[in-house]
Every structure is written in structure tokens, then in C-alpha cells.
Amino acid sequence: MKIKTILITLSGLLTISILVFQACEKEDETNLPPSCEITLPADGEQYMQGKIVTISVDAADSDGSIAEVRFFIDEVSKSSVNSSPYTYDWNTAGENIGYHTVKAVSFDNEGGSTPVPAFTATPTFGDAPLSVDFTDQSTNNPTNWHWDFGDGNTSSEQNPSNIYNEVGTYTVALTASNEYGTDAVSKNEFIAVSVVVADFSANTTGGQAPFTVTFSDESFSNPTSWQWDFGDGNSSTEQNPSHTYNQMNLYDVTLTVSNENRSDSETKANFITINGGDAGTLIDARDEQSYKLVTIGKQTWFAKNLNYETNDSWWYDNLSANGDIYGRLYTWEAALMTCPSGWHVPSDDEWKILEGTVDSNFPVGDPEWDGPYYRGFDAGKHLKSQSGWGTNHGTDAVGFTALPGGIFYTEEGFDFIIDYAFFWTATETELNSTSAFGRGMYSTYRTIGRAQSSKKNARSVRCIKDE
């Protein structure tokens, strides 16, 4: 399957990524693939939330005809058209402000795709007799299913149930097929019947070092021994231990339980978040304003937006009360000159280190952080403050306390307070001397954005300590 990708960057409005998929798998090698091109919206267009966006596709097949064009928004199927014109009117009312993916898939009258099998089940453990409901989640329109439940029973239903009567663990396999091919997937020891299954919780999952956490064993089927690994080199054999974390980091926690029949382990990645704690307070000698400081990993940051008055800086809506909460908004040139002695505007790479330090899935140095737009898994959630956002406040897990101070477009005015936090980096973009990299956090997203912005726009500034 060939993929053509077009990225459309919109400044704080609805941002659309366009993916064009062309069906190329054929029963006959002489059958040529269809063409598929999204002609609207055009690259770089901007849309306000609530607008009807017409998505138009030019699809053709040189040795046959187009059987179908499917339209997807954020991987959710929205419409299917079987004849020209291939269009879909997308109502953006109710859509989140931010990035969205538009995908079109064209199929000709002789082409299609092999299914990609996938499934879930509930419950996956319990006492015998255990009744389990299986749900097919395969893609590419399978028409036939073959389930092997691992206990000698099988089914050809799409969403079957099975009753497990014997103690043990069972590997489940699903084979899905259609006229274009067959594929299979299996999950090892997916179902556990009347055997020990490890699970646990904690009374809290984050705080300032030193920080004590009490863990609770919630394992199934009466384990008789426990082995805890707290992720910092310490361990315990108690059933419900307490442990004190002394250093800032994100910690994986693993519990291994066993009885006379079986042992099982459960690991929860980045389960405990310990921030570096209060690094004191800085009094800016230039205007006597105070800034709380926080150490995150090896970096020390302002835990508050800069509020030093200089040329080409503004309070949101020119209200000093907003400055007390959100600080000032600075053009890029002004921002570079604003941090007090011993501090500076962080570079693009220094922001990447911060992001990798606090994210649960992507560590420092991961290529994820080199990408554009919203990246990572939950770095934004960990950096956002616990209040002050329009929706979806953060955890403020490391004391960064990011607040949504909005932005000032020098030609259009103020926008996005309580919904967006925009921060400058000190790094210019390589291809355009009029723009620089920034960071963005949005109220409904747990990720963090990296994008180019005009140096004329005014953003918030967080200072970082010189090394």
C-alpha cells in the first residue's frame, strides 16, 4: 500500500494532517493500482472551529474503475462514496482545536487488502468455570474468522464466547481472511483460569523527594509469596510494603507473585513520578519580582513565567492581573534579552531534554522528540499545572506548573488564554530566518507541541539556569 503524506500547519486553529492511502494489493500482478489524491483542503489552509470543511478526492483507475473511496478523520471512518464526485463535508463543530488527520483510501474494482487480525477479551482471568467474551478488532474488512481458544475449542463467529472449565493458562489465536488473503495473530497465556495473576496499586503515584509510597497487592488467586522491585535498586518481599523514593525520576515498579502452581509478574512503566523538589526562590534584582525554581533531572527551571517588562512585551489583554498569573508575552528578539543574569531562554535541545525527562514512554534522546507538532505520550500532562486550564488540567508531576497564558499575534491580537501555553526556545529554524522553534501545550492534549512560529508573535518565556 502506497502512502502519500501532506502536513498542513495551522496557527492554533484546526490543524489538519492529510494522509492519502492507495490500495495496491492485487489478485493479479497485471492489475495497476488506482490513483488517489486529496485536492481539498489545500496545503497550508486554515479553518476556524465550526466550519464545514469539504474534503475532495481525485481518484482514478487506468485499467478498471473506482469501486469506493473512504474518508477517515483521526482514523475514524466517516463516509464512503462509490461514485464521482468523491467528496465529504466534515463538520468541525465540536472538534478539538489542534491537529487532526484526514485520510482517504481508494479501492478499484479488482483490488483490496488482506485483513490485519486483532482482538480483545473480557475477562482475561478468573475462577473456573470462566466465561470469556472475545471481540474482533481486525481491520481491512475480514469476511471469515477462525478462533482457537487454546482449550481444544474453536469458533467461526466474529465475536464468540468460550467457557474455560480447567485450571491453567491459555493461548488464544485468531485467523482472519477475506478474498484478498489470510493472516493470524496469537496472544500467549492470554487467559488465566484459577491461577495466580499479579496486580497491584499504590496510595499515590507522585510527589516531591523524599516521598513515601504504600503499595497494595491486588493479585488474583491467593499468591503465597511476593517480590517487589521498586525501580530504584530497592526491593521487598512483603505483601503490602511501603517505600521511600529519595531522588527525582520516573520509576518502573514490578511485582512478582507465586504459589504452589504458578508465578506471574506485572510491571507498570513510569508508575511513580518523583520530582526534584523546590530549588528555592530567585529575586530578580532588576524589578524585585520573585520566581520559584524547580530542579527537573539535571536542569533547573523557573517554575513561573517571566514577567519582566521590556520593549515588545505585553500582558495578555494589557491587564496587569494577567501578568501576575501568566507573566508577559515576548517577541522572539525581546525574549532572548529578558532572562536575568545566570539564566537564559532554553534552546530547542534543552526543551527536548525536559520532555524526555518527564514523559512516561519516550526518554531523553528518543527520536520522537525530533518530530514536529504534538509528540511524546504524556509530557504535557506532567508539565501542566493542576488548575487554571479550560479543560483537562495537568498533574504538575515535577513542579513545572505550566499555565495557559495564550499568545499575542502582533497583527491580529491576543488569543487562546486558558486553553494554550506557548513558550519560546532560543533556536531559530534552519530554513526560515523569520521563525523560531516554540513549544505548545493544549488544554485537551497530554502531549507537547514543537512547531515553528513567526518571531513577531509574542509567547511566554521560561528561563533555565546556565550550566
Tell me the residue type at 353.
I
Residues above pLDDT 90, as percent of the chain:
50
Q: How does pLDDT run across 262-298, given as a tens digit for each residue? A: 889 999 987 887 866 677 899 999 999 999 999 887 8
And the C-alpha cell for 386?
Answer: 493542576
Site of grid cell 520530582: 275
Q: How does pLDDT run across 154-178, given as a tens digit for each residue? A: 999 999 999 999 888 999 999 999 8
Segment among 12-21, 197-206, 256-265, 323-332 with least mean pLDDT:
12-21
- Give the 3-state secondary structure of the chain: CEEEEEECCCCCCEEEEEEEEECCCECCCCCCCCEEEEEECCCCCCECCCCEEEEEEEEECCCCCEEEEEEEECCEEEEEECCCCEEEEEECCCCCCEEEEEEEEEEECCECCCCECCEEEECCEECCCEEEEEEECCECCCCEEEEECCCCCEECCCCCEEEECCCEEEEEEEEEEECCEEEEEEEEEEEEECCCECCEEECCCEEECCEEEEEEECCECCCCEEEEECCCCCEECCCCCEEEECCCEEEEEEEEEECCCCEEEEEEEEEEEEECCEEEEEECCCCCCEEEEEEECCEEEECCCCCCCCCCEECHHHCHHHHHHHCCEECHHHHCCCCCCCEECCCHHHHHHHHHHHCCCCCCCCHHHHCCEEECCCHHHHHECCCCCCCCCCCCCCCCCECCCEEEECCCEEECCCCEEEEEEEEECCCCCCEEEEEEEECCCCCEEEEEEECCCEEECCCEECC
Q: Is 96 exposed, middle or buried (0-12, 13-18, 19+ CB in 10 A)?
A: middle
Tell me the residue type at 242.
S
Model pTM score? 0.52
Tell me the residue type at 457.
N
Residue 33, preceding bond cis, omega within 30 degrees?
no
Tell me the residue type at 283.
I
Tell me the residue type at 409.
Y
Distance (Å, rounded) from C-alpha 131 to C-alpha 164? 6
Which of the given ranges, 97-101, 209-213, 316-320, 353-357, has the highest pLDDT on average?
316-320
pLDDT attached to residue 7: 36
Distance (Å, rounded) from C-alpha 420 to C-alpha 440? 7
Ordered domains of the chain (ranges, CATH): 2-108 (2.60.40.10), 119-193 (2.60.40.10), 200-275 (2.60.40.10), 283-465 (no CATH)
pLDDT attached to residue 337: 96
pLDDT, average across residues 21-50: 59
Distance (Å, rounded) from C-alpha 17 to C-alpha 5? 8
And the C-alpha cell for 54?
Answer: 469539504
Q: What values do phi and psi take at 50, rounded to 5?
A: 105, -15
Tell me the residue type at 391.
T
Residue 12 predicted with pLDDT over 60: no
Residue 95 Cα to chain centre, angstroms: 17
pLDDT attached to residue 73: 79
pLDDT attached to residue 358: 86
